[in-house]
Chain A
Amino acid sequence: MVDNLDSILPQVTKPARYTGNEWNSVAKDWSTVPIRVALAYPDIYEVGMSNLGLQILYQLVNDRQECLAERVYAPWVDMEARMRENHMPLYSLETRHPVRDFGIVGFTLPYELNYTNILNMLDLAGIPLLAAGRSADDPFVIGGGTGAFNPEPVADFFDLIVLGDGEDVILEILDAYRQWQSESGAVGRGQAGRKSFLMKACRIPGIYVPQFYDVRYREDGTIDSIQPNVPEVSLPVMRRFVDLERAPAPVRPVMPYVESIHDRAMVEVQRGCTRGCRFCQAGVIYRPVRERSLSTVLRIVDALIANTGYEELSLVSLSTSDYSQIQPLLDELVTRYHDKGLSISLPSLRIDSFSVGLAEAIQKRKRTGFTFAPEGGSQRMRNIINKCVTEEDILTTAERAFAGGWHRIKLYFMIGLPAETMEDVAGIAALVQAIHATGRRMHRARAEVSASVSTFIPKPHTPFQWAAQDDLESLAEKQSYLRRNLRGNGLKFSWHDPRASELEAVLARGDRRLAAGIRRAWELGAKFDAWDEQLKPDVWQQAFAECGLDPGFYARREREIDEILPWDHLSAGVDKKFLWREYRRGMLAASTPDCRTGPCVQCGLSELSPSCAERRGR
C-alpha cells in the first residue's frame, strides 16, 4: 500500500483530492473480499466526484458482500510530477492499494478530451497500455459511459466495453468474473486465461470486446468491413437499458471534502429525452424516456438527505421540465424540506413560462441567474437542429424571468452547425441583444445577459453524425463577429478554443487507427486536453503527422449514406435509417415533434423497449 503521502501531499495543491476517507466512502478488508474493482474517472477529483454514474456503480458493487469498489481519479499535473519523482504508483482512495492490484479497473468515458488521461493513468498504475500487451497479473480494463458508443479510438487500450445503462450489466460482469476466478484458480491463468474470461464476458448482452472484431479499411481511408473474428460475439452489440423505476439509486453517495463541480445531492427523476435535437447524442443513446414515479423519487430524496446532510438537491435529467410529475414533486419537496434550509436546483429547463414558474417556486430568496439553451440564433437554424422553440417563446421566457426577479440570464448557443450561414450567427447576436434590451427595461444597469457559444461537434449516433465540422477559419470568423457584436455593459460572451473543438471532433468520430495518434500525443506530453491551459495543439498536430493521420479526414468530411461508420457494429437501438431521415429533414429545415406528445417517429426503439412499445400501443 502507498504510505509515504506525508512527503508529497504538503507540496501539492488541494491535497485532500488524494486522501479519501470521505463520508459514505466504503473501505473493505481486502483479505475477505475476492472481487476488487477500481472505478476510475479520467479527470481530476472535483470533476469525477460529480459523476452520478460512478456513484451508482460504487454503491451497487459495494452492496455485494464478495465485491469491493474503490475510486481513483486523474492526479493533477503537480501531483503526477511528485508521484513520478517518488515512484509512487496510482493508488485507490479507499485503501491506497495500487490500482494494478485490482482485478478489474473500470473507466468511465465521459468525454473524448479525457482520452490521454486514461493512458496517463494506466501508465501511472503500471498497467500495460495495450489490452494485447497485458499479462495474467494485470487487471481487466473495462470502459463504459457515453464514450462507449464510439470507443474505437481507444479500443486497443480496453479489454472490454459496456454499452448502455450499467446497473444490471456490471453485476453480470462480476458474476462472470467470479466464475472465471473459481475455474481458473488463483494461479496459472496466463494469456489463455485472460482470453477465457473475455470469451465468457462477450456473451453478456451489451458487452463489446474490441479484440474479437477486425476492422478492414479501403484505400480511400474509409472502412471496408467490421467483422467478428470469433463466432461467439454479436453483431451489432446492442446497448443495455434498465427500468429506472426499479433501478437502485445511489442514496449513500460519497461526499467530497474538496468542493466538487456539482457538490450537492442528485436524484435522477428520469432518464432519456425524446425531444430529438439533431446534434444531441444523449437524446439518442439514452432513449426512451423512463420516469421514476413520484413516490420513488421522494423515497430516494428522503434517504439521500438523511444520509448526506446536503443543503442542496438537484433534480437530474436531460430535461427536467418534461418530467410529468415535476409540479407535484416540487410542491411536496417544498412542504417536506421548507424548514430544513434545503435548496433545490433544476439544471436543465425547457424554454417556456412553465419552467420559469417552476424556478420561481423553488428560488424564493436568491434569484440571481437563469439559464436556458436556445442553441440556434435564427428560426431556420433552430428548425435545422430540431430545437422546436420560436423566437417568441425565447423572448417571452426571458421577459418572464426578468419580471420574476432574475437579473442575470445565461444563454447557450452553438456555432458551426450544418448549413450555417453568417445570418444564423448574426441571429445569435440579435437575440442576445433583444433579451438584454428587455432586461434593461426592467432592471436597468443590473441586467446582465451572458451568451456561452460553443462549437458544434458532430457526434456518433446522431442525425448529424454524417456532417462535416466547420473549418477553423470559418469558426474564427464567426467568433470574431460575435465578439464584436456582443460587446458592452451587461453583455458577456464566452466561446471555446476551435482547436480543442477540432480535436474533439476527430476523436468523437475516429476509428481504431487513431489509437496510435492518441498514444503518440500522450508520449509527447498531451494530457488534460479538456483544460484550456493544458491543451497542446502543436503536440497533437505533430502526433497525427507522425502517425500519418489527417485530422480533416475525421473532422471536416461529410460522410455518404453508404459509408460504414466506425461505430456501426455498436447499436444504441436507434435505427440508422431514422438518423439519416432526420439528417435529411434537418437540411430541409423541417422539424420533427417529440414522440412523447406526438406520433411515434419510428426511431427503431419500439422494437426493443417495452415501455416504448406500450406507449405506441396505446
Chain B
Amino acid sequence: MKETTLYRYQLVFAKGEQVKYISHLDLMRLLERALRRADLPLDYSLGFNPRPKISIAAPLAVGVTGTAELMDITLYQLVGPQHLLERLNASLPAGVHVSSVTPAALDAPSLQSLVIAAEYEVVVVTDVTGKEIQRRIDHLLACDTLPRQRKRAAEVRSYDLRPLIWELSIKECQDGKCYLGMCLEASSQGAGRPEEVVSALELPVLPLDVNRSSLIIAGKAIK
C-alpha cells in the first residue's frame, strides 16, 4: 500500500527551443514519463484511468518558449528538493530543464488560480522603423477598445484585446529586427496572446519568436 502522507512541490522549469512545438498535453505526458524514468514516487489519481498529480500553472501556446514556467507535483514519499531537481533533470529531454524545486503546502491554492499575468519577449522581423513601431504602440495603447476575432477550430470568437495588454514597449530595434516586451493578462478573465498584439501592430507574426519570460502571481513575478 502507498503511504497516506503526500508531499507537494513547486517546480520552476524552462520549455526551450527544442520542445517549443509540443502541445500542452504532449508536455504533460513527457513530464509523467520523465518522472517515471527518474523513479520518483509519483502520486496517482484513483479511478479507472489513474493520472499522475502534475499541474501546470498556465499552458504555453504551441511554438512559444518559456523560461520560468511553473508546475506542481505530488509525491507519496518525502524527497529532498535538491535530490528531486537532480534526478528529474537527468531524465528530462533536451529543452526541458528544472531550475528550482520548493516544497509547497498540500492545501495551497492551485497554481492556475494564482496566475494573473505573464511577461513576454517577442522578436519581430520587419523593415518598419522603430519610430514607426513606437507610434503604432502609442496609438494602440491610447485606444479604449481593440475588438479582434480569434479563430479556434470552426468557431470564431470576438473579444477585446485592449484590457488584456498591461504593458507594451520596444526593447531594441536594429538590423531589421524589433524586440518587443509585453505584459499580458493571463487569468480566468482572459489571456492575451503575444502574436495577437504583434498582429494588432500590423507587424508580421512569422517567423514566430516568442518567449514567456515570467508568470506573475499576485504581484510577484516568477523568474
Contact = CB atoms under 8 A, between A and B. Distances in A.
A9 B18 contact: no
A307 B39 CA distance: 11
Given A6-B208, A19-B21, A308 B37 contact: yes
A201 to B, nearest CB: 36
Contacts of B48: 365-366
A257 B33 contact: no
Interface in A265-312: 306-311
A10 B33 CA distance: 26
Contacts of B30: 23, 257
Contact of B63 (A10, A258, A306, A366): A10
B206 A10 contact: yes
B206 A7 contact: yes
A123 interface: no
Interface string A76-99: 000000000000000000000000
B29 interface: yes
Contact of B33 (A6, A11, A15, A309): A309
Contacts of A308: 33, 37
A342 to B, nearest CB: 9
A10 B32 CA distance: 26
A340 B38 CA distance: 12
B22 interface: yes
Given A10-B206, A308-B33, A311-B33, A257 B26 contact: yes
B33 A21 contact: no
B206 A255 contact: no
B80 interface: no
A360 interface: no
A9 B63 contact: yes
Given A6-B208, A309-B35, A16 B26 contact: yes
B206 A307 contact: no
A306 B22 contact: no
Contacts of A255: 33
Contacts of A311: 32-33, 36
Contacts of A258: 22-23, 26
B18 A259 contact: no
Interface stretch (B91-99, B114-122, B159-167, B174-182): B91-99
Contacts of A182: none
A255 B36 CA distance: 14
A257 B23 CA distance: 9
B133 to A, nearest CB: 20
Contact-residue size bin, chain B (C-beta under 8 Å from the other chain): 20 to 34
A340 B34 CA distance: 14
Interface in B18-57: 18-19, 21-23, 25-26, 29-30, 32-38, 44, 48-50
A9 B36 contact: no
B63 A15 contact: yes
Contacts of B93: 21-23
Contact of B37 (A9, A15, A22, A309): A309
B22 A366 contact: no
Contact of A309 (B23, B91, B205): B91
Interface string B67-98: 00000000000000000000000010111000
A310 B33 contact: yes
A341 interface: yes
B49 A366 contact: yes
B209 interface: yes
Interface string A151-179: 00000000000000000000000000000
Contacts of A14: 23
A32 interface: no
A9 B17 CA distance: 13
Most buried by A among B22, B34, B49, B91: B22
Contacts of B25: 259
B34 A309 contact: yes
Interface string A1-40: 0001011011100111011011100000000000000000
A19 B15 CA distance: 14
Given A257-B19, A259-B29, A341-B50, A307 B207 contact: no
Nearest to A15: B21
A309 B91 CA distance: 9
Contacts of A15: 21, 62-63
A259 B26 contact: yes
Contacts of B206: 6-7, 10-11
A7 B19 contact: no
B122 to A, nearest CB: 12
B24 to A, nearest CB: 11
A91 to B, nearest CB: 15
Nearest to B2: A339
Contacts of B26: 16, 257-259
Contacts of A9: 21, 63, 208
Contacts of B32: 309, 311
Given A10-B63, A366-B49, A21 B208 contact: no
A4 B91 contact: no
Nearest to A256: B26
A19 B63 contact: no
A141 B95 CA distance: 33
Contacts of B207: 4, 6-7
Contacts of B62: 10, 15-16
B21 A341 contact: no
Contacts of A307: 37
A18 B18 CA distance: 11
Contacts of B18: 19, 21
Most buried by B among A15, A23, A306: A23
B177 to A, nearest CB: 13
B209 A6 contact: yes
Nearest to B208: A10
28 contacts: A4-B207, A6-B206, A6-B207, A7-B206, A7-B207, A7-B208, A9-B21, A11-B206, A15-B21, A16-B21, A19-B19, A19-B22, A21-B94, A21-B95, A23-B30, A23-B93, A257-B22, A258-B22, A258-B23, A306-B37, A308-B33, A309-B33, A309-B35, A309-B36, A311-B33, A311-B36, A341-B50, A365-B48
Interface of B: 18-19, 21-23, 25-26, 29-30, 32-38, 44, 48-50, 62-63, 91, 93-95, 205-209
Given A23-B34, A259-B25, 18 more contacts: A6-B63, A6-B206, A6-B209, A9-B63, A9-B208, A10-B206, A15-B62, A15-B63, A16-B22, A21-B19, A258-B26, A259-B29, A309-B34, A309-B36, A309-B91, A310-B33, A311-B33, A341-B50
- Give the 9 A-B CB pairs with smallest separation, nearest first: A309-B36, A309-B37, A6-B207, A309-B33, A15-B21, A21-B18, A7-B207, A16-B22, A257-B22
